[in-house]
Amino acid sequence: MKGNYTSRDLVRLASSRCAGCGDCCRNMGDSIRLDPYDAYMLSYGLHKPFQKLIENEVGFSVTNEQGLVLPHLMMKQVLRKADEKGQQAVTECTFLAADGKCRIHGVRPGVCRLFPLGRQYEESGITYFDLEACDMPGKSKVRIDKWLGIPDLEEYHAFKENWHTFCKRLSDRLSEEDQDTRKKINTLMLHMFFMTGYDGDFYECFEVRRKQAEQILL
């Protein structure tokens, strides 16, 4: 890993030779986790309430040892050509098309927008680093904010920091509770931030809910 970049830094990320291999969308397990902004964007872009997305495209998993549950994109098992001789079974994102392209590129989740970058939360704010997880040759430099393609990045950063802090505090609370209470807290949190749609300005709605959730759950 390298870098301690701000969103205005130029980093060698964009490969002119990227042929849409789709490798970064395969065998990802439950690692493509969703935050409330992702849930809002997916519902908006696919014209589906989040409750519908959990029928096939989104699952839930425990994300840490304290028992915090969050949604993630589902993988499906498919057969892909391995070499001249045959096929192999792989798991891939349900939104990956047969030609290796993302079917929801415009509303893809934050984890996908970031790749191959990682994000870290520091006192001075959010910074980025290169995971060095894509070895496609011929990369050129691109500014990180352009790479992410998220409008109102300042507001988005404020949201990410607040969500990150909320999840940390909720995890601390969960660590003090028994199994049944953890389940109830997770269910209520998922209902407040994911299962209930966002009308109007996302960031404003999120802030209202975050303050309510802090009173009820923390």
Q: How far is the CB of 147 from ligand SF4 (least distance, A)?
A: 13
Q: How many CB atoms lie within 10 A of CB 38?
A: 23
CB of 57 to ligand SF4, least distance (A): 9
How far is 165 from 31, CA to CA, in rounded Å? 19
Nearer to ligand SF4 (CB atom), residue 32 or residue 190: 32
Task: Summarize as ranges the residues that interact with ligand SF4 (CB under 6 A).
Answer: 25, 32, 73, 93, 95-96, 102, 104, 108, 112
Q: Which helix (H) or strand (E) is 102 found in, with range?
A: none
Report the residue number, 68 or 96, with the smaller CB distance to ligand SF4: 96
Minimum CB distance to ligand SF4, residue 129 (Å): 20
* Cα–Cα distance for residue pair 8/143, rounded to 1 Å: 6
Nearer to ligand SF4, 73 or 170 (CB): 73
Which of 148, 128, 115, 138 has the alpha carbon at shortest distance from 33?
A: 115
Closest residue by Cα to residue 200 from 39, 34, 40 = 40
Question: For residues 188 and 217, is the Cβ–Cβ distance under 8 A?
Answer: yes
C-beta of 93 vs 189, nearer to ligand SF4: 93
Shortest distance (Å) from residue 120 CB to ligand SF4 = 21
Contact 11, 166 (CB under 8 A): no
Q: Which is nearer to ligand SF4, 67 or 110 (CB)?
A: 110
Alpha-carbon distance 118 to 133, whole Å?
10
Residue 31 or 140 with smaller CB distance to ligand SF4: 31
Minimum Å distance from CB 116 to ligand SF4?
12
Phi, psi of 138 (to 5 degrees): 75, 35
- Of 122, 102, 101, nearest in space to 165 by CA: 122
Shortest distance, CB of residue 24 to ligand SF4, whole angstroms?
A: 6
- Cβ proximity of 11 and 141 under 8 Å: yes
Q: Are 53 and 43 in contact (CB under 8 A)?
A: yes
